[in-house]
Structure 1
Amino acid sequence: MIYEKNPIMNPSTILLSIIVSVASFFLFRNRVLAFLDEKNLSVQNYSGRKVRTGGGLLLLFPVLLAAVPSLFVTRQADVVFYILMILCLAFCGLLDDVLGDSTSRGLSGHIGKFLKGGLSTGWIKAFTGGLIGILLAWYRYRNFPLFLLDSLSFALCVNLVNLFDLRPGRAIKGLLFALVPVMLFAGFREVWSVLPVLVLLMFYLEGEMEEAYMLGDTGANLLGGILGFYEVIGLPVKGKIILTIFLVALHVLAEFQSFSKWIDAVPILRAIDRLGRKKGSER
């Protein structure tokens, strides 16, 4: 597949996508929360509170609808791939929220269980993320080394947000810290896929910080996919190499020690991590 430069996005289209994402968030919010309650999709969080999981469903419909205006001003194939990617990743995440357990942890845990003849929802999620990364890299294909780089970086982006989703707001804050430099390095190209989501998260975040719901694997998968999609289609090669090295390092560290311990050990990271949390949840 030959890579072509994307035309400059019309600002009015971006604005329309933002309006659609925010409006649909409030349209679906109570309906989704009622659905989660009806299906008893809740877990005990890190502080012992019972919290709705699968909160990523609150993002799913707004993100999908916000992509529709871009069909008329950018490469349609890009937007169609983006929409299908979101649906697949969110579905696999929801499967993990509904059927998953904590018997296998981390990539090594899920791979180890598979090699021993077992199967976990985490492995299904990792397999899907890897496969979508391969398909996206093939779709953007320019040469084989870049194909491998894009495949790996996408899969690691998807899993990275899952690794951070251990405290209220942490995954979203981590996503913001990752996206800002990536957008700068990309020269703000292809922002149709991320700007409406960033605005949407401002409205979503309040409920998560109040522990009314949590992203769950549904939301973490979805947001990780958006980060991965953006870096694959937006970053220059040098930026992709730097990001991939950083992602590999983080995943290696995560296999040996929880991110929570690293964050708690650095005062400024600890302060950012706890910013906005409910009183009594600062740990």
Structure 2
Amino acid sequence: MSRRTLVAALVAAAAAGGLSVARRALPAETRGPWERTNHAGASVTLLEGPVYAVAAAAGNLAGGAPAAPGVVAALGSAAFGALDDLAGSSDSKGLKGHLGALARGEVTTGAVKIVGIGATGLVATALADRGRGRGVLATLVGGAAVAGAANLANLLDLRPGRALKVTVLAGVPALLPPGAGGAATAAAAVGAAAGTLPDDLRGRSMLGDTGANAAGAMVGLALVERTGLRGRLVALAVTAGLTVLSERVSFSKVIDDTPVLRRLDRWGRA
């Protein structure tokens, strides 16, 4: 790991840990809108999401230039995720539900989030491609891949630690070789995940749309930063395929029915 990626990971992890402590001291009226009930019926906070996004952005900045793409990916996707967390309705769920509502003339917060994260992915990719001679098509596909990764991470945030574990598993390979494109972005994503994972595993907090979208966008951007059109097309095909599959298949059931995945999914939980 290069010095730059190491700094990005350490700063992100430290920021996530520090902000996780600080959020517990927030007044009740600030914490209230972020309180939810998880799958086990326990009360959890979604403030982990803003903590993750800010920590990832801080790690990206500390990792050195160019930091703008990662900061845009983390904070932009988190902002649109927060809109859905705080003002979203459960009437329309999933990509199919939000697009169906849009077809009926109903603009849901989920639909706004889909468009907003798509725009965020495109801007982040355009910033990453600046001066690198990438074509317009590669940038468009890259932006879609970043948005797809953000959405996919959100689909995985259904059990304690799951989305963060996937962030780490997907982000670590992007750290190599040292100094390669996207390494600092991946390091910031992994570091922020490490800093927020303890409370998530204990069932005290969740990423919510805010944090899951930021985590997925960061990992997606890390891949986009080191690939050309072909690699981006593969990433887009994978994220789009899994998203469509999620409308028909329960990822939780697949994980529970697969011994290796089940053990990994439950590792570390309280």
Alignment-derived partner of residue 41 in structure 2: 48
In the TM superposition, residue 163 of structure 1 has moved relative to its aligned partner by: 0.6
**Which gives a bigger RCO, structure 1 or 2 (Cα 8 Å, sep 6+)?**
2
State the partner residue of 1:67: 60
Q: CA shift at 1:54, angstroms? A: 3.1
Larger-gyration structure (1/2): 1
In structure 1, the partner of 2:145 is 153
Cα drift, residue 188 of structure 1: 4.2
Contact 1:54 1:217 in 2 (8 A): no
Aligned twin of 2:80: 92
Contact 2:154-2:163 at 8 Å conserved across structures:
yes
How far apart, in 2, do the equivalents of 1:18 and 1:137 lie? 21
Contiguous gaps of at least 5 residues in structure 1: 1-8, 279-283
Q: Give the percent of matched residue pairs that are identical in Structure 1 and Structure 2.
A: 30
TM-score by length of 2: 0.87
In 2 relative to 1, CA 143–200 (structure 1 residues): closer, same or farther, beyond 3 Å? closer
Change (3 A) 1:261 1:190: same
Structure 1 window deviating more from structure 2 (150-159 vs 62-71): it is 62-71
- Select 2:184's aligned residue among 192, 198, 216: 192
CA RMSD of superposed structures (Å): 2.5
SS of the residue 1:35 aligns to:
coil
Q: Secondary structure at the match of 2:48?
A: coil
**What are the equivalent positions in structure 2 for 1:104-253 lying under 5 Å apart?**
104-139=92-127, 140=129, 142-183=134-175, 188-253=180-245
CA distance change for structure 1 residues 54 and 95 in 2, over 3 Å: closer, same or farther?
Answer: farther
Cα pair 2:72 2:120 within 8 Å, conserved? no
Please name the residue that 1:35 is paired with. Answer: 26
Residues 96-119 of structure 1 show CA distances to partners (whole Å, capped at 9, x for unaligned) of: 211122211111111111121212
**After superposition, what is the alpha-carbon deviation per residue over 1:70-110, rounded to whole angstroms, capped at 9, x for unaligned?**
44xx34xxx12322332222122122211122211111111
- The residue matched to 2:200 in structure 1 has which SS? helix
Work out whether 1:12 is the aligned partner of 2:3: yes
Q: Measure the CA separation in 2 of the matches of 1:204 and 1:175.
A: 12
Contact 2:172 2:186 in 1 (8 A): no
Contact 1:110 1:120 (C-alpha < 8 Å) held by counterparts: yes
Q: Which runs of 5+ in 2 are unaligned?
A: none
Aligned-partner residue type, residue 273 of structure 1? D
Is the contact made by 2:11 and 2:62 (CA closer than 8 Å) also made in structure 1?
no
- Between the two proteins, the alignment pairs up a number of residues equal to 264
